[in-house]
Amino acid sequence: MPNPARRNVLARWIAVFLVVYHAGCGGTLLPGEEQDDFDGDLDESDEQLDERQVSGAPPFRLYVAHGGNDGADGRWSGAPLATLAGAQARLRSYLPTINRNVEIRIAYDGGKAYRGQEVVWSHMSPDHTISFMPSDYGPGMRLSDIAGRPLFDGKSLCEKKAPETSKSAGEHCKFFVIDGRSRPASRLRFYYLSITHYTTTGIALHNSGEGRNVVYGCKFMKIGNLYFPKQRAGYTAIGISSSDHNRIRNNHFVDIRNKVADNRFMHAVYMNVLSSDNTVTYNNVLRVSGDPFKVRHYSNRNRITHNTLRYAGVAAFLDWPEGGRKECFSWENVFSNNAIHCGYNGTKSATVKLRPPPEPDNGNPLCVPLGKRVRSSGNTVSCP
């Protein structure tokens, strides 16, 4: 029978070898980086996320696949489109006024990536949903029920963007941005997609007013300028700005990292500028260089619960409005029942970090206290 003491010594030597070997190859092995990434479903509830509107008509479907053509019909799997931008253009031609729910069905091809796609989505309806999903996905399915997550890889696109210089902060490089400034609700749904190698943001739920968007079962990997050292700092895997009532649930955030000088700017989910009543639940977070969950400038009553965080940030939750911009504290946010396992550098993480009073600019008439800034309970902190 193997000697436990000898086995422990051997394990330590293997760990040292991995650190030295990885560093010699130009990489940086962080504490916990040798851990396997759990990739299943964390969602433990039966909550129905679909919220399908009753319109008397079946969903309108468009198909996207490798080898597709944006000039194709797109309405059946044998004549697919090539890109999500092409799907939006085709949707506009078919439904200039959206009168039923829409499904954009994306083929999974053994992990083959859709490369270099960048989407600004503006065609939507406040009364109907638009869902982006694997072609074999159906409401209520789990990851084990489908062939896999379609993968969107932005590396080739981000490498072509203008780099950061002494006179320029470089260009943004994002996968998907909602542009719905004139809409009461965008109601977009993202189910079981993988997004990797984008610099600044994965999915941006921006200016979507009432929002009511859903990101469920998705996987965000290698977002940030650690992977594009000449580019500007990354900000977040999922950004929510001027958008309410969104649900971020059952996702994986893995290696959401900036280079060392920009570490603190990167987050898993960032609720910014009047983004309230959002829920962030049952997500798995592994290696995020900045504080994983951040609220800023009067983003109130958000609920961040039942998430698992490993090697992420200095604090798990951050409220830090910027000075000089007439920004306000955020109020009545809930941070509860989260499992926190070490900060980004491998030491014990704080649970909550708040910018101390006075407010950065209390001349803003919007800065009205609503009660308590954050209600924290039931969280566990352990390291290692």
Q: What is the pLDDT of residues 90-146, one digit of tens each?
A: 999 999 999 999 999 999 999 999 999 999 999 998 889 999 999 999 988 999 999
> Cα(5)–Cα(89) distance, rounded to whole angstroms?
64
Query: Which contiguous run of DSSP H or E holds residue 160?
Result: helix 155-160
Give the Cα separation of 259 and 95 in Å (integer). 44
Task: Name the nearest CA neighbour of 258 among 248, 271, 243, 268.
Answer: 268
Residue holding tokens 């609220």? 295
As a whole number of angstroms, the distance between CA 243 and CA 334 comes to 18
In the block, residue with structure tokens 């999500």: 84
Give me 185's structure tokens: 């609700």
Four-residue CA torsion sign, 29, 30, 35, 38? negative
Length of the chain: 384
Residues whose CB falls within 8 Å of the CB of residue 9, separated by 6 or more in sequence, listed in order: none
Q: What pLDDT is stored for residue 365 in this prediction?
A: 85
C-alpha 288: how far from chain center: 11
Residue 143: φ, ψ to 5°: -60, -35
Q: Point out the residues of the chain with pLDDT beneath 70.
A: 1-36, 45-56, 181-183, 208
Structure tokens at 291: 């504080």
Q: With beta carbons less than 8 A apart as the criterion, state whether 19 and 29 touch.
A: yes
Is the C-alpha dihedral spanning 265, 266, 271, 273 positive or negative?
Answer: positive
Closest CA to 309 of 10, 98, 32: 32
Supply the pLDDT for residue 65. Answer: 98
pLDDT of residue 51: 54
What pLDDT shows up at residue 19? 36
> Can you give the pLDDT at residue 54?
45
360: helix, strand or coil: coil
CA distance 97 to 362: 43
The residue type at 164: E
Structure tokens at 217: 């079962």
* CB-based contact 308:349 (threshold 8 Å): no
DSSP state, residue 314: S
Q: Which pLDDT belongs to residue 8?
A: 43
Let me know: does 300 contact 324? Beta carbons within 8 Å.
Answer: no
What pLDDT is stored for residue 36 in this prediction? 66
- Write down the pLDDT at residue 35: 66
